[in-house]
């Protein structure tokens, strides 16, 4: 008896059953570290989104009369300036709150740029193979041979410091990680039975990649993107600290540390508090990313 197949007979086969995914999210939700990281992250994101209403003062307003006001818990502190003021009298808390917007905006936007470029390159490289795979792999190896911060410095020096430049530069210097991860997964998937069945009935490459291959790589992409946001925030802070980011136009955590380092013996809170903001944010993102990786690992019990 002859068996016929049509295009609709080949459907996407997920890499894990639905109940397995539900169990994975349950493991994530019950993990104390994941909950702590998620809570910190929700607070940081909420503060960043509501910065104009949460910040008690204008972050750019100066007053030499109140310069070096210590935090409220220290002798000489003022309840009007909970975290003190800087060397020109600007409210530190307001600048940290507004700096959260820049850090998260740069982190998320840079990851979106990296994701679009890297995932596309990884899908093409892994599925097509041959000379295309070799060419893309060579470009990836070249990018990986240079430290990201040096590439970013070179691009910013050539294009000029601005918020858009920083986002594009960090995005175009972090795509290769996505390419490697996605390529490895695609090479394993392209020999699966449901891919072979799609090929057998004449489904085009683009349709196979978009409908059948890409959905099976989403878990790895989500986890990698989470961790990449933390790296992008650190890279932006490093560039701001070096004075080649957007710190002169916007209050950023890295620029605040750079300005406060010369006064650390007089006003310890100037470099310390923005540094703690970076620490807590990156720690929270890493906790969420690590626990997502553990929860979505198919080998986990």
Residuewise pLDDT in 10s, the chain (301 residues): 444 444 444 444 444 444 455 666 677 777 788 888 889 999 999 999 998 899 998 888 888 888 888 999 988 888 889 998 988 889 999 999 999 998 899 999 999 999 999 999 998 888 888 888 889 989 888 888 888 788 888 887 787 778 888 888 888 888 888 998 888 888 888 777 777 777 777 767 777 777 878 888 888 888 888 889 999 999 889 888 887 766 566 788 988 998 888 888 888 999 999 999 999 999 999 988 888 777 766 555 4
CB 110 within 8 A of CB 232: yes
Distance from the Cα of residue 66 to its chain's centroid = 37
With respect to residue 30, please indicate whether it lies within any of the assigned structural domains: yes
Name the H helices within the chain.
18-29, 32-49, 51-54, 92-128, 130-144, 148-159, 163-172, 175-189, 193-200, 205-208, 218-241, 253-260, 269-296
Alpha-carbon gap, residue 43 to 112, rounded angstroms: 22
Asked whether residue 115 is domain-assigned, the answer is yes
In a domain, 140, yes or no: yes
Report yes or no on 139 lying in a domain: yes
Domain coverage including residue 176: 19-54+91-296
Contacts for 209 with CB less than 8 Å, ≥ 6 apart: 123, 127
Residue 74 inside a domain? The answer is no
Question: Is 67 contained in some domain?
Answer: no
Round the CA-based radius of gyration of the chain to a whole number and report it.
24
Say how far apart CA 197 and CA 178 lie, in whole Å: 27
Supply the CATH number for residue 96's domain: 1.10.3720.10
**2 falls within a domain:** no
User: Does some domain include residue 107?
Assistant: yes
Domain count, the chain: 1
């Amino acid at each position: 008896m002859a068996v016929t197949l049509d295009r609709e007979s080949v459907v996407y086969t997920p890499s894990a059953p639905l109940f397995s995914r539900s169990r994975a999210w349950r493991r994530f939700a019950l993990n104390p570290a994941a909950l702590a990281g998620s809570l910190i992250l929700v607070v940081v994101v909420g503060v960043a989104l509501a910065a104009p209403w949460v910040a008690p003062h204008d972050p750019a307003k100066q007053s030499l009369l109140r310069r070096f006001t210590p935090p409220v818990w220290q002798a000489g502190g003022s309840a009007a300036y909970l975290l003190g003021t800087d060397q020109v009298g600007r409210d530190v808390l307001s600048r940290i709150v507004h700096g959260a917007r820049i850090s998260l905006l740069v982190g998320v936007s840079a990851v979106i740029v990296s994701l679009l470029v890297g995932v596309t390159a990884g899908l093409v490289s892994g599925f097509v193979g041959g000379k295309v795979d070799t060419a893309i792999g060579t470009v990836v190896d070249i990018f990986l041979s240079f430290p990201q911060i040096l590439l970013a410095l070179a691009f910013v020096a050539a294009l000029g410091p601005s918020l858009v430049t920083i986002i594009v530069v960090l995005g175009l210097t972090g795509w290769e990680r996505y390419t490697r991860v996605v390529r490895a997964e695609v090479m394993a998937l392209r020999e699966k039975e449901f891919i072979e069945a799609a090929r057998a009935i004449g489904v085009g490459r683009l349709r196979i990649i978009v409908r059948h291959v890409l959905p099976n790589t989403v878990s790895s992409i989500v986890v990698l993107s989470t961790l990449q946001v933390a790296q992008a925030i650190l890279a932006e802070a490093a560039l701001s600290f070096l004075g080649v980011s957007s710190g002169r136009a916007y209050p950023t955590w890295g620029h605040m540390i750079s300005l406060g380092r010369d006064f650390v013996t007089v006003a310890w809170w100037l470099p310390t508090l923005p540094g703690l903001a970076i620490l807590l944010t990156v720690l929270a993102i890493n906790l969420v990313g690590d626990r997502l990786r553990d929860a979505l690992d198919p080998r986990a019990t």
